[in-house]
Amino acid sequence: MSEMEKTPVLSAADQAAPAPKPKRPKAKSLLMIGEQTNTLFENARLAKERGEKVGWSASIFPQEIPETLGLNILYPENHAAGIAARHQADPFLQECEGPLGYSNDLCAYAKLNLAYAAVLNGESAVEFPDGGKMVKPDFLLLTNNICNQLTKWYENLARQMNIPVFFIDTCYNPCDYVTETRVRYVRSQIDQLITDLCAFTGKTWDEARFREVMEISQRNSYLWERANNLMDHKPAPIGGFELFNYMSAMVCNRGKKSTTAIMEQLNAEMEEHIRQGTSTFPVEEEYRVSWDGIACWPYLSHNLRTLKKYGINMVASSYGKAWAIEYDDLDGMARAYCFASTNGDNATTMLSRRLEALKKFDCEGTIYHVNRSCKVMDCQMMEIQRQLSEMAGVPFTSFDGDQADYRNYSEAQFETRIQGLVEVMKQNKEAKCNG
């Protein structure tokens, strides 16, 4: 039989159908992120095998400290987001709310992680979807700049696994600035934490290494913010949701050179798109919006599909930039970590940051994620919506969702709300065009 004969014969219908759209190759920066994430977990596993102590950390902890000490740290929030995004959360949520006795009301990142920890601890038998790559910790690093639930979550992990918590209480900021007394309190805790962590892990603090890590971290923060800022071009060089993919570099690897390489690559890719007048956003950018709140990880693709349908690109987010943390010494570090997350800041600060973003990125609307996991984000959101919309003259919509619990979302509601927002944005656009 000749080679020609082996070729399958296409039916008339097949021949009439358009050729399948070739899948866009992954950007190099994204491949680099994948490698970096694998390395993070692999290094932690190897460290554990060598008998070294491995830690788990809150996501806006001064990561430069364990990095200086050469410790391997994993991040439960980031890990939980990954599990949720891959639709693997269910057995963990069930385990947590069932045998472990936790309330459904709690943060889904916490519920997921507490159940995962119970498996690591031999108390539960849920099958790991990832081979248990989040290895069992020997200590915990905690800050409460994101929320107070983290404090309680880590209290429970500490008791569950009988391990110490190294805690920096960053204090909520009711003032428009971080008071000097907060800086002193936090700085003192940082000093104590370094001493205690060295004693616990047997590591030694090296000031020169710290300076080096701090510089890397500062460079990374700069590059991350720069990449975020490149979204001000029209059309934006990438689809805004893609930036969520790079957050692990800033959350888990902020003080590493590998992140510098990723961030430089990302900036270069975005600049190239700007030069070419192209974008990875798959359709024409009709509307530019900001996204308020954590990504709705379990439904990211549904969110994106719906937004794409109307040509809505998310060009600004209140969330990712929390990891662009700038400072140049330990006092500065104390101040920066108190002020990093808008969850820890008063409404005035929150409003001014959001207003600046709406203007800078020329947003035509805001989408608020009423994240059932996150009371600190939701409980003042309505007041923020009212004030921000009035200040910026930009409409908004909100939808019910969750950062990790797939049960708290309705596709129909999301679609209806976005449709409603589009109608208002369209009217505004037309009014603008008509003068």
Partner 1 sequence: MADLAQDLARLQTASENPRAQLDYYLKQGKKVIGCFAPYTPEELVHASGMIPFGLWGGHTDLKLTKSYLPAFACSVMQANMELGLKGAYTGLSAVIIPAICDTLRCMTQNWRFGVTSIPMIPIVYPQNRTSPASVDYLISEYETVLTMLSTITGMMMNEKALCETIKIYNEHNRTMREFAVTANEHLDIITPQVRHAVFKSAFFFEKSEHTAILREIIEELKTRPVYDWPGKKVILTGIMCEPDQILDFFTENKIAVVGDDLAHESRQYRIDIPEMGGGGLKRLALQWNARYGCSLIHEIGKPRGAMLIRMCRDYGAAGVVSCMMKFCDPEEYDQPYYEVDLNKAGLPYVTIEIDQQNASYEQIRTRIQTFCEMI
Among 45, 182, 288, 321, binds partner 1 (CB under 8 A): 182
Among 378, 406, 415, 429, binds partner 1 (CB under 8 A): 378
Contacting residues for 211 by C-beta, under 8 A, at least 6 apart: none
Dihedrals phi, psi of 291, to nearest 5 degrees:
-115, 125
Among 376, 388, 422, 425, binds partner 1 (CB under 8 A): 376
Nearer to partner 1, 258 or 346 (CB): 346
Among 45, 273, 372, 417, binds partner 1 (CB under 8 A): 372
Q: Angle 136-137-143 (CA atoms, 0-180°, nearest 5)?
A: 135
| By CB under 8 A, residue 152 contacts partner 1 | yes
- Stretch touching partner 1 by CB under 8 A, among 74-82, 188-196, 236-244, 423-431: 188-196
Tell which positions 45-104 bind partner 1, by CB under 8 A: 100-103
Angstrom distance (rounded) from CA 106 to CA 302:
24
DSSP assignment of 50-85: TT--EEEE-TTS-THHHHHHT-EEE-HHHHHHHHHH
Taking the complex as a whole, the smallest distance from the CB of residue 175 to partner 1 amounts, in Å, to 8
Q: Token pair of 356, please?
A: 């600046």
Query: Burial, 314: exposed, middle or buried (Cβ in 10 Å; 0-12, 13-18, 19+)?
Result: buried
State the amino acid at position 345 in one-letter form.
D
Query: Burial, 17: exposed, middle or buried (Cβ in 10 Å; 0-12, 13-18, 19+)?
Result: exposed
| By CB under 8 A, residue 167 contacts partner 1 | yes
Among 380, 389, 426, 428, binds partner 1 (CB under 8 A): 380
Taking the complex as a whole, the smallest distance from the CB of residue 253 to partner 1 amounts, in Å, to 26
- Stretch touching partner 1 by CB under 8 A, among 57-65, 125-133, 162-170, 427-435: 162-170
Nearer to partner 1, 174 or 277 (CB): 174
Cα–Cα distances (Å) from 3 to 6, 8, 12, 273, in that order, read 5, 11, 22, 42
- Stretch touching partner 1 by CB under 8 A, among 129-137, 180-188, 290-298, 316-324: 180-188
- For residue 217, give the 3-state DSSP assignment: helix
Q: Token pair of 384, please?
A: 């923020």
Beta-bridged to residue 74, according to DSSP, are 56
Q: Do you know the residue count of the chain?
A: 435
Draw the binding track, 105-124, toward partner 1 (x: CB under 8 A; -: no contact): xxx-----------------
Cα–Cα distances (Å) from 350 to 34, 79, 289, 356, in that order, read 32, 27, 17, 10
Can you tell me which residue has the tokens 């009014």?
431
Q: Token pair of 412, please?
A: 């129909």
| By CB under 8 A, residue 347 contacts partner 1 | yes
Among 2, 7, 11, 181, binds partner 1 (CB under 8 A): 181
Nearer to partner 1, 194 or 315 (CB): 194
- Number of residues interacting with partner 1: please give it, by CB under 8 A: 48
Taking the complex as a whole, the smallest distance from the CB of residue 192 to partner 1 amounts, in Å, to 6
| By CB under 8 A, residue 301 contacts partner 1 | no
| By CB under 8 A, residue 9 contacts partner 1 | no
Among 38, 192, 204, 278, binds partner 1 (CB under 8 A): 192
Among 43, 88, 179, 389, binds partner 1 (CB under 8 A): 179
Nearer to partner 1, 252 or 370 (CB): 370
Taking the complex as a whole, the smallest distance from the CB of residue 144 to partner 1 amounts, in Å, to 7
Q: Token pair of 153, please?
A: 């979550």
Other beta carbons within 10 Å of 161: 18
* Beta pairing class for 396-401 and 365-371: parallel
State the amino acid at position 171 in one-letter form.
C
CA 158 to chain centre: 24
| By CB under 8 A, residue 7 contacts partner 1 | no
Chain positions contacting partner 1, by CB under 8 A: 100-103, 105-107, 144, 147-149, 151-153, 155-156, 158-159, 165, 167-169, 171-172, 174, 179, 181-182, 184-185, 188-189, 192, 343, 346-347, 370, 372, 374-376, 378-383, 387
